[in-house]
Chain A
Amino acid sequence: MNVVKSNNIYILAGNCVTPSGFNLSENIEAIQKENIAIQEHNDQIYSSSSFYGGIIDNELLNQTIKKKIPLANNFSKLEKMMLLSLNNIKANYLPILKDRCGLIIASTKGNIDRINLDDEDYLLSQLGRKIAKSIGITTDPIVVSNACVSGILAVSVAKRLIQAGMYDHVVISAGDLFSRFVFSGFQSFYAVSSNPCKPYSANRDGITLGEAAASILITRDQSITDTTSYIISGDSSINDANHISGPSRNGDGLFKSIEEVLKNSNLSAIDVDCICAHGTATQYNDEMEAQAFNRSNLHETPVFSLKGFFGHTLGAAGLLETVVTLELANRKIIPPSFGYDFNGLTLPLAISTGQQNIQINTVLKTASGFGGVNTAVLFQKPKPFFNVN
Chain B
Amino acid sequence: MLIKHICKISNGQVWLDDNILHEDRQETFQSFIHEVYRSQKIAYPKFFKMDPLSKFAIVGSSIIFDNLDGDIERDTALVFANRSSCIDIDKKHLDTITHIDNYYPSPANFVYTLPNISLGEVSIKYNLKTENAFFVFEEFNKPFLFAYSETLLYQNKATMVLCAWIEVNNDAYEGIFFLVSKEGSEKNLTTQLKNFIIP
Whether both chains belong to one complex is answered with yes
Please give the distance in Å from B63's CB to the nearest CB on chain A: 20
Interface members, chain A 241-264 (any B CB < 8 Å): 241-245, 252-253, 256, 260
Instruction: Determine whether the beta carbon of A242 is less than 8 Å from that of B136.
Output: no
Please give the distance in Å from B166's CB to the nearest CB on chain A: 13
Partner-binding segment picked from A156-164, A209-217, A336-344, A352-360:
A156-164
Partner-binding segment picked from B31-39, B120-128, B173-181, B182-190:
B120-128
How far, in angstroms, from A315 to B85 measured CA to CA in the complex? Answer: 14
Please pick, from A115, A146, A181, A372, the residue contacting B133 in the complex, using a CB distance under 8 A: A146
Please give the distance in Å from B77's CB to the nearest CB on chain A: 9
Instruction: Determine whether the beta carbon of B84 is less than 8 Å from that of A145.
Output: no
Please give the distance in Å from B132's CB to the nearest CB on chain A: 5
Please give the distance in Å from A24's CB to the nearest CB on chain B: 27
Question: For chain B, which range describes its interface: under 10, 10 to 19, 20 to 34, or 35 or more residues?
Answer: 35 or more
Instruction: Determine whether the beta carbon of B137 is less than 8 Å from that of A125.
Output: yes
Please give the distance in Å from B83's CB to the nearest CB on chain A: 5
List the A residue with the shortest CB-CB distance to B83.
A125
Q: Which residues of A contact B148 (CB under 8 A)?
A: 157, 160-161
Does A232 lie at the interface of the complex (its beta carbon under 8 Å from any beta carbon of B)?
Answer: no
Does B155 lie at the interface of the complex (its beta carbon under 8 Å from any beta carbon of A)?
Answer: yes
Q: Which residues of A contact B137 (CB under 8 A)?
A: 125, 128, 140, 142-143
How far, in angstroms, from A370 to B109 measured CA to CA in the complex? Answer: 13
Instruction: Determine whether the beta carbon of B136 is less than 8 Å from that of A372.
Output: no
Please give the distance in Å from A146's CB to the nearest CB on chain B: 4
Does A177 lie at the interface of the complex (its beta carbon under 8 Å from any beta carbon of B)?
Answer: no
Partner-binding segment picked from B5-13, B18-26, B110-118:
B110-118
Instruction: Determine whether the beta carbon of B134 is less than 8 Å from that of A144.
Output: yes
Instruction: Determine whether the beta carbon of A161 is less than 8 Å from that of B147.
Output: yes
Question: For chain A, which range describes its interface: under 10, 10 to 19, 20 to 34, or 35 or more residues?
Answer: 35 or more
Please give the distance in Å from B55's CB to the nearest CB on chain A: 13
Partner-binding segment picked from A34-42, A184-192, A290-298:
A184-192
How far, in angstroms, from A243 to B123 measured CA to CA in the complex? Answer: 9
Q: Which residues of A contact B97 (CB under 8 A)?
A: 180-181, 184
Interface members, chain B 28-85 (any A CB < 8 Å): 78, 83-85
Q: Which residues of A contact B91 (CB under 8 A)?
A: 115, 117
Does B144 lie at the interface of the complex (its beta carbon under 8 Å from any beta carbon of A)?
Answer: yes
Please give the distance in Å from B101's CB to the nearest CB on chain A: 11
Interface string of A170-209 (1 = CB under 8 A from B): 0000000000110011111100000000000000000000
How far, in angstroms, from A269 to B131 measured CA to CA in the complex? Answer: 22
Instruction: Determine whether the beta carbon of A244 is less than 8 Å from that of B111.
Output: yes
Interface string of B144-178 (1 = CB under 8 A from A): 10011011101101000000000000000000000
List the B residue with the shortest CB-CB distance to A141.
B137
How far, in angstroms, from A243 to B91 measured CA to CA in the complex? Answer: 24
Instruction: Determine whether the beta carbon of B114 is less than 8 Å from that of A236.
Output: no
Does B106 lie at the interface of the complex (its beta carbon under 8 Å from any beta carbon of A)?
Answer: yes
Please pick, from B85, B119, B127, the residue contacting A123 in the complex, using a CB distance under 8 A: B85
Q: Taking beta carbons and an 8 Å cutoff, which residues of B are in contact with A?
A: 78, 83-85, 87, 90-91, 93-97, 100, 103, 105-107, 110-111, 113-117, 119-121, 123-124, 126-138, 141, 144, 147-148, 150-152, 154-155, 157
Closest 6 CB pairs of A and B: A185-B110, A371-B120, A143-B136, A160-B151, A188-B105, A239-B123
